[in-house]
A and B are shown apart, each in its own frame.
Chain A
Amino acid sequence: MEKKLNLGSGCVIENVNVAKDHFVMSLLLTSICKDALPGQFVMIRKQGVKDPLLSRPLSLYGVYQTDAGTVLEFLYRVVGKGTWALSRLTGGDQVDILGPLGKPFEILPDRNHVILLAGGIGVAPLSYFAEYLAKDLDRPEERGEETASARKVSFYLGATTAAALVGIEKIERFCTEVRTSTDDGSAGFAGTVTELLQQDLAGLDHRNLCLYSCGPAAMIRSLSQLIESLDIPCQVSMEERMACGIGACLGCSIKVRDASLGWSYCQVCADGPVFDIKNLLWE
């Protein structure tokens, strides 16, 4: 089976500092990523630059088709050398892109209330997903229609403090409901976003729910405890440091349940980054 070549270059359109340490970068690509789906990611690096050595994984925050080509958007937080180098890019700069990579979020057609739960920068892939769902890109027959089966999409966004609640404007455009929390209580619910969800879950019909989440490991872990005994399907997008992005280096392993061995490692880049939360195991 020949897989599609997904290596190409992109041209930076703009790279905007949207909040402290947070940037939204848009790229124009002419050859690849046309059909990139929510939950997928790319490996990105500035063209012709040897330092940083490795490309960095970034989730898709938006994918748009234009006459000039495919526009990709990324929302990223500067945490170290690689993301800092990305933040220095300006319009016209060239980047190398490997992607789209990984498994996308799986849409469950019979679950009409979608809850997206994001912690910090985990907002990036879920925002694209919200937009994708709002535009009914998965079901062209209902596009633009107000049908009885219309999906409800609730976005839960948590951060340490109000200033770190990034990306709200986009979410508000595409979601039926937006719920926020901050650890320090400076905006929204005072506490963690999983605590907020826990409160709300009591009043919801679980048979109609499906959950998607992305964020810090501690958040995913408390989410897995929260829904352990509940019958709600939940997919999470996981992160590990990556070198190749294509399942070759085995650098990005995480622990998962394995029917025959009890547990095993699998690759976030190739087997994920989206996993069923019930398959994850915690050290």
Chain B
Amino acid sequence: MPDLSVDIGGLKLKNPIMTASGTFGYGEEYAPFINLNDLGAIIVKGLSLKPRMGNPPPRIIETASGMLNAIGLQNVGVQAFIEKKMPYLRTLEVPVIANILGEDPEEYQRIAERLTPVPGVAALEVNISCPNVSKGGIAFGANPESAIDVVRRVKSVTDLPVIVKLSPNVTDIAMIAEAVESAGADALSLINTITGMSVDIDKRIPHLKNITGGLSGPAIKPIALRMVWQVVNRVKIPVIGVGGIMDASDTLEFLIVGATAVQIGTANFINPQSTIHILNGLLAYMEKRHIRDIHELIGTLKC
């Protein structure tokens, strides 16, 4: 069997297939459908310091080859995560990555502090697409200074690998990537959802109560791929590709462009076994071409 193992900033994964935050609940929801231990890693729903109610409904709407969501980061909060969700996740033999978010840089730091000693948490993924409430609601990930601030604070309180998840809603994602790398990030994941909108023409109201939402699914894949390609050319740390990955060939595109691993998001909704189908497809591709190590594929784009 080909060697699929990869290293994400010190975190060893047996294969590069991870689940994208917010699309895989806290893992347990998918236990009836797949053997969770077959995954490279599980990334759980974004966690805030206190539980968050999230946005009023409607929160989702399908659009051409994608969907908009405005969940508003509804989550149980870090305390309930540790008490109620971790005991199950710890029984698994798969690295669990906690995705964290905050309203201000202190909140990120405090969540990182809380999660670092928790047995079973293998790494942190820092979602910097959230609005910085202390700076007028502009996303942390939208300017290098606030992104650096968040990453430095998180790094200062944790020895876990820190993956920084970048927002695509920026002018120059490679510049943010470089800034985040300089602040000590161990790896990057990209992209988060792209802000979009959809209108009900009968009622002349937005389809989402929140008016705007984040676009995910196949519609964003070319953009995600382009951004991963731009970023891998500018940073040395590993990059995880996310965005519209539905099958093994989508995964291969990201690997060839230079992603060390991928995250599967919206595809989980369409088929809860997507991750495993993708893993099997990847294996079949490698076996057919006698590729023995996944690294023979990563970053092999010819152009």
Contact = CB atoms under 8 A, between A and B. Distances in A.
B29 A5 contact: no
A265 B270 contact: no
Interface string B6-40: 00000000000000001111000111110000000
A93 B48 CA distance: 45
B26 to A, nearest CB: 9
A50 B58 CA distance: 23
A241 to B, nearest CB: 5
B270 A53 contact: yes
B222 interface: no
Interface residues of A, number: 37
22 contacts: A2-B31, A7-B271, A45-B270, A51-B65, A52-B62, A53-B270, A54-B62, A54-B269, A55-B269, A82-B62, A96-B271, A241-B57, A241-B58, A241-B60, A248-B25, A249-B60, A249-B269, A250-B59, A252-B60, A253-B59, A254-B57, A264-B53
Contact of A253 (B31, B32, B57, B67): B57
- Summarize B's interface: helix, strand, loop or mixed: loop
Given A241-B60, A249-B269, 11 more contacts: A50-B246, A54-B67, A55-B270, A82-B62, A96-B271, A243-B69, A244-B268, A249-B25, A250-B45, A251-B59, A253-B57
Contacts of B24: 248
B25 to A, nearest CB: 4
Central interface residue in A51, A248, A255, by most chain B CB within 10 Å: A248
A245 B54 CA distance: 18
- Summarize A's interface: helix, strand, loop or mixed: loop
Contact of A7 (B65, B69, B218, B273): B273
Interface string B137-174: 00000000000000000000000000000000000000
B270 A54 contact: yes
B71 interface: yes
A250 B54 contact: yes
Interface string A183-207: 0000000000000000000000000
A248 B23 contact: yes
A248 B268 contact: yes
Interface residues of B, number: 35
A242 B149 CA distance: 37
Nearest to B61: A241
Given A243-B269, A283-B56, A251 B32 contact: no
Interface string A1-35: 01111110000000000000000000000000000
Nearest to A283: B56
A264 B80 CA distance: 15
A54 B266 CA distance: 9
A58 interface: no
B184 interface: no
Contacts of B45: 250
A3 B270 contact: no
Given A98-B272, A248-B25, A249-B71, A7 B58 contact: no
A252 B54 CA distance: 11
B74 interface: yes
A6 B32 contact: yes
